[in-house]
A and B are shown apart, each in its own frame.
Chain A
Amino acid sequence: MRRAGPTLAAAVVLLAVTAVPAAAGEAVDTHSTVAPNQKAIDLIAQRTSDARQSEDHPSDGPLLREQVHGLICKGAIGGLATPLNGSCSEVDAFTLDIDCGGDTPVRPLFSRVRTSESEPWSEWMPETIGGCPADVLPVLTVEDFRRLPLAPPVLTLQPDRGWVLVNKETIVMTDRTEQAFRTELLGHGIDVIATPGTFTYDFGDDTKDLVTRSAGHSWPDHDTFHVYEELGTVQITLTTTWTGRYRIDGTTQWRDVVGTAETSATSAPFIVEERRSRLVSGLCTNVPRPDDCD
């Protein structure tokens, strides 16, 4: 019998410096179409959704437990008095007439069990009393949000050839792309969307950071750039602040994560040079490359 088991917490396996001895290989990204054709990610999302469905409705093996949302009879002491057990009609049941500020109140959750398919079901027993989703459903905290595998957006430099000219504009750009995740809290499946907020560029030369909401544009429409005034070797670090929103399975409302997450990306080092020292003996796109291109 194959039953869909609960999703286990992810195990992190950190492999420090497992260098494979220099063997040959084409760059891995030549074999994959990346966004929007995210084949593996879409497949994983579909499988995760299917797994949750079959957790709630196992098709393999005998059905020994059922759950349903229901109501409690008015004047009931203890939860066994419910229309589900025939103790009163729905009209006489206590309705959750509470103001949840736009959310639909969550009805009490009942379950019943039996020891085998040929045995009768037990009565419906209350599992949760219900209430407003904000009180009853889990909150995705900023700590939960920061645990998601957020990929840093790609940092693009223009020019990107290992050197830039002093006193000329060095353009920086990135992309403002949302990332979607599936996760789980206390048995509830959750959709999460992370949105880039501000981009902070540290140019590595003791000048003020550039903080912007613009993802930047390439030349000549560039709006995010820096002018280096000193010669030397530098690296640029882009720190992105992310906001999050999430939606719990079975509800329609998107809720905001209180707080932000951060990702960081650093460029390869590059040299800030003067124009004079940039005389080369041929085009740098030639093969073989002239020595003074590097």
Chain B
Amino acid sequence: MDVADADGAAAAATHFLDLYEYTYDSLDPTAIEAMSSPECTFCRSVIDDVARMEAYNHVATGGGHTVVNAFGTEITQEQWYSAAVQLDQAPTAEVDPVGKVVSETSGGRFQMVFALDWAQGWLVREVDVTPLPAAMP
């Protein structure tokens, strides 16, 4: 992941997804913020969401993901990269301080496309997510 090339971009995208899970688990956005470009609207949405949960004393349960495919490309050497990741995400729920479920998601298979910047380290510039039907067994 510490090399600016196509494989490094794929590894950076999957690492970002591990940070995503950690951020909801801990409600601490510091690590994911350090890997996010300021213009990344996806990243900002995650950071704002955990700040909201922290303020209301909610916790996240469930979750967890499996990476099915990760694929990186170089656009401009040592500058711009892209990555596509397909993953299966388990159902999640948000729970209030008395244990009531305030929202839940059913999980599923998603395709995520990352625009990445290299600046002596990886930054996620933007992420798109598309739900996918489950693949054939």
Which residues of A line the B interface, CB within 8 A? 2-5, 7-15, 17-35, 38-41, 43-44, 47-48, 50-51, 54, 149, 151-152, 154-155, 237-238, 264-268, 287
Contacts and interface: CB of A to CB of B under 8 A. Distances in A.
B110 interface: yes
B127 A40 contact: yes
B63 A13 contact: no
A8 B74 contact: yes
Main secondary structure of the interface of A (DSSP, over half): loop
Contacts of B127: 31-32, 40
B73 A8 contact: yes
Contacts of A15: 14, 67, 69-70
A277 to B, nearest CB: 24
Given A24-B25, A25-B20, A44-B115, A34 B78 contact: no
A182 B75 CA distance: 11
B45 interface: yes
Counting from the closest, the 10 A-B pairs by CB-CB distance are A24-B60, A25-B63, A27-B105, A5-B77, A265-B133, A32-B129, A31-B45, A11-B6, A23-B21, A40-B126
A25 B64 contact: yes
A50 to B, nearest CB: 8
B7 A24 contact: no
Interface in B79-132: 79-80, 82, 84, 87, 89-90, 92, 94, 101, 105-108, 110-115, 125-132
